[in-house]
Amino acid sequence: MRKLLTILPLVAISLFALMPHSPTAVAQNAVSIEYWNINNQGFGGATVDLLIEQFEAANPGINVEARVQESYPSLVQNLELQIAGGNPPAVVQIGWPYLDYVYNNLPYVSVEELIEKWGGAEHVAQFPENILNLTLMGDSHVGLAYSLSNPVVYYNADMFVKAGLDPDNPPTTWEGWLEIAPQLSQANGGIPVFNFGYGSDNWILQAFVESNGGRMLVCKDGEYRSGLDSPEAAAGLQAWADVVLSGQSLNATYNEATPAFIGGETVTYTYSIAGRGNLQSQASFDLRATVFPQFGDNPVRVPSGGNLLVVFATDPQQQEAAWKFVQHLTSVEGLSEWTRGLGYVPLYEAVLNEPAYAEFIAQNPIQQVGNSQLDRMVRWTSFPGPNGLAAGEVAFRATQAALGGQMSAAEALAQAAQEINELIAGQPCTE
């Protein structure tokens, strides 16, 4: 009996070892690919799972493993280490500010190469030219545009009512907001009216700078130069700094800004339309949104947030599976699911006409606000060259200095422009 008891576990272990215990062992010629994304469960994770499930059901033999990364910067860090180790993930969401870095430094597979090897030209042809151009670097496309978002002004309609203001007609200009801000604050216990959550990605900075007529980056004498030392850029940042320094706006990063708005500690929250799903599920008040404000007569220019899908798989089987998966994610059905789940704007016409999406958009006025800004979207600035990421950090530091009141926006941006120009010196451009 004792002998039997000794042998039994050994037999069990041997049997377990021989059993096909992973999906790869079940299917013949199965391919496993990794999909790196930033969609945790609070930010579209469930939609990613659903899209993978649909893809695997339609493509037996391909297993997709989603790997969630903390943020775009940490994703690129880990990607670099993974590539250095010779084991790149198959499909990766690359944040727009990292496009230049990926183009110059990482061994991606271009869309042209993927089409040549595995077909799919008709799928790519659905994308309008301006959307395709977002990923065009040199003479090839680094990846396919996937997530496109823009900043909208979410607001607490209940607080508008409390202040005796019409929540159906929120201001659409900066001047309009400044006019009603004291009334809104006073009626709601003196809380800050504005809340521009920001991070080192310079996304909101670009919206302020470019909507005031400035530019983050300009092309001068065949070389990229910082555009931050212009009076227009300074006016944009100063407008933001003024409301922060006067206490009318919260000075908070993304992590602090979202809970503050949800918790009723600010009247508005200028944030990505991609956050719509999350905010709607959490807000216990009448949540609404309006467009990013216009400054004077300047046209509104909002940076396109989000990411592109880039293939890094080197193994032919994995590469083919990765390209199939990218096409699934950017299909009409895939994009409909994606934009409904999170709030990103649709990439091409056919998505707008997809029945589920059309029904959803008719019932969701907040999403309509994001979609209405499509023609105001510009490329999210990616500073060029090997020091591009460090240049972005310089702009972020200038923002912090101006918002903290240590320097005027003009001083901070002039200093930053000088530093950025040194960092990106020699990077060629065409007018």
Partner 1 sequence: MMKSAASTSAPGRSYPLAGSRVRISFTFSRHVVPYLYLTPALLAIIMFVYLPLARTLYLSFHQGNLLNPTRSFVGLDNYTQLLNSPVFHRILLQSAQYMIFSLIGSVLIPISLALLTLHLTDKELDFYQSALFLPTVIAFNVVVLIWAFFFLATPNGLFNRLIALLDQPPQSWLRDPSFALPSIALIANWKIMGFHFLLAVAGLKAIPKEILEAAYVDGAHEWTLMRRIVLPLFAPTGLFLVTVTLIGSLDAVFTPIRVLTEGGPNNATNNLMYAIYSEGFRFFRVGQASAMSVLLILLFGSAIYMQYRLLDRWVTYER
Q: Which residues bind partner 1 (CB under 8 A)?
A: 73, 77, 80-81, 83-84, 101, 105-107, 191, 200, 247, 250-252, 255-256, 260, 263, 265-266, 386-387, 389-390, 393, 396-398, 400-401, 403-404, 406
- Which residue's CB is nearer to partner 1, number 173 or number 400? 400
Q: Judged by CB, which is closer to partner 1: 105, or 372?
A: 105
- Measured distance CA(394)–CA(402) in Å, rounded: 13
- Backbone CA torsion sign across 377, 383, 389, 393: negative
Q: Report in angstroms how near the CB of residue 156 gets to partner 1 at its nearest.
A: 14
In the complex with partner 1, the residue whose CB is nearer, 33 or 252, is 252
In 96-158 the beta strands, taken as DSSP E runs, fall at: 136-137, 140-141, 144-149, 151-156
* Nearer to partner 1 among residue 88 and residue 341 (C-beta): 88
Q: How far is the CB of 91 from partner 1 (least distance, A)?
A: 19
Cβ-based nearer residue to partner 1, 263 or 296: 263
DSSP codes joined into one string, 276-316? HHHHHHH--S-EEEEPPPB-TTPPP-EEEEEEEEEE---SH
**Closest to 344 measured CA to CA, from 209, 145, 64:** 145
Which bin fits 240, alpha (ψ -120 to 50), beta or left (φ > 0)? alpha
Smallest gap from residue 154 Cβ to partner 1 (A): 16
Smallest distance, partner 1 to C-beta of residue 240, A: 13
Kindly write down the DSSP assignment for every residue of 398-426, as one continuous string. Answer: HHHHHHTTSS-HHHHHHHHHHHHHHHTTT
Distance in Å, CB of 257 to partner 1, minimum: 9
**326: closest CA among 42, 30, 113, 155?**
113
| Helical packing angle, 355-363 and 365-372, nearest 10° | 100
- Minimum Å gap between C-beta 279 and partner 1 is 17
Q: Enter the DSSP assignment of 381.
A: P
Nearest of 285, 352, 341, 258 to residue 49 by alpha carbon:
341
Task: CB nearer to partner 1: give 100 or 320.
Answer: 100
Give the start-end residues of each E strand in 325-400.
Answer: 377-379
Compare residues 60 and 107 and give the one whose CB is closer to partner 1: 107
Minimum Å distance from CB 53 to partner 1?
31
Closer of 87 and 255 to partner 1 (Cβ):
255
Measured from the Cβ of residue 404, the count of other Cβ atoms closer than 10 Å reads 13
- Give the three-state DSSP class for 136: strand
Give min distance, CB of 243 to partner 1, in A: 13
